[in-house]
Each structure stands twice: as C-alpha cells, then as structure tokens.
Amino acid sequence: MFFNVSGLLRENTGASRRFSLENDPPVHRGHVELIRMPKGVLVRCDADVVVDDRCSRCLVPFGYPEHISFEEIFVQQVDPSSGAHFPAPDEPDLFFIALDHTIDITEAVRQYTETAAAMQPLCRPDCPGICAECGQDLSMAMCDCPRRPVDSRWAALAALKLSANG
C-alpha cells in the first residue's frame, strides 16, 4: 500500500489527498487521507480488514472481518525540492516517509489489524472445539471421552442473567 507524496510535500500544511483501498490484503476496502503537516504527513486510514487467524477452540485457520481506524504521522526525512535531509527525531516507533517520497502504510495496517484481532476468535459461535482428553476435532466427529460441562463459570453467569431478568 504505497502512496507517492512528492507532490503533497511541496504543498502547504493542511493540503490533502484521498485514496481508496480495495482488495489489498488484509484490507477488504477502505480509504486513506494524507494530510500535509509541518514535519511530515498525517495518514488517516479507515478500513474493513480481514483478519487471518485460527479458531481458539479447534485451531482451524479462518478469516473474519474487523474494522480498523488510525491516524499516524509519517515523518519527513528529505525535502523533495532541495534534497536537504532533516535530522531524524529521536523517538522510537516512528513511521517515516521513504527517501523516494513514498509512504508505505502496509506495516501500520498490519499492526492495527493485529490489535483489532479478537482475543479468542471462533470459527463459528458454537464451535465444539477439540476434545481435551483425546484431541478429536469435535466438529468432525464425537469421541467416547466422558463429557464435563463446558465451563462452570458460564453456567453461573447464565443463572445470574436469568435471575436479573426475572
């Protein structure tokens, strides 16, 4: 996801460009706004992404949709008119405009997609998962291991909700 900003860098603070994103994994669709700032370019990104993940119960790989939205400054390193280099700011974890005046938002999108990913994704809400005793994938076939209630905490929570509603 590259954007050439050599033109934008020659414009005044506040100048902007808008681009659409489509089918550029993990982005399904979205848009990017690039805004000229005194020391670089502010990237505003809004996108529907597909998170590639594994089901937390049965470990099957699957993708699911999430939305990401972020603003990041990409720091300018060189003046496109004069070729003069700016001193690099002494801060960690900055994004930079490349020396050829391009912005690559791939890494930022990856980081925000990772943050948006579910803690315990499920391939389907009622995924039965894998038997803790024998390792059988229970969505394919049942096994003969003795069954315990899935998780007693959920049962307690359900009872609580019932009494709250009543």
Report the interface residues with Zn ion, using CB under 5 A. 55, 57-58, 123, 127, 131, 133-134, 136, 143, 145
d(CA 4, CA 132): 52
Between residues 1 and 122, which has the closer beta carbon with respect to Zn ion?
122
Query: Which tokens belong to 14?
Result: 């506040």
Q: Supply the minimum distance, in Å, between the C-beta of residue 130 and Zn ion.
A: 8
CB of residue 52 vs Zn ion: minimum separation in angstroms? 15
Task: From 63, 68, 53, 47, select the one nearest 113 (Cα to Cα).
Answer: 68
Whichever of 27 and 123 has its CB closer to Zn ion, that residue is: 123
Least CB distance to Zn ion at residue 141 (A): 10
Q: How far is the CB of 138 from Zn ion (least distance, A)?
A: 8
Whole-angstrom Cα distance, residue 142 to residue 128?
Answer: 10
Pick the closest to residue 31 from 49, 50, 18 (CA basis). Answer: 18
Toward Zn ion, which CB reaches closer, 58 or 103? 58
Give the shortest CB-93-to-Zn ion separation in angstroms: 34
**Which one, 90 or 126, has the nearer CB to Zn ion?**
126
Residues 6 or more apart whose Cβ sits within 8 Å of residue 97: 5, 9, 40, 41, 74, 75, 76, 77, 103
Q: Which residue, 73 or 131, has its beta carbon nearer to Zn ion?
A: 131
Q: Which helix (H) or strand (E) holds 34?
A: strand 27-37
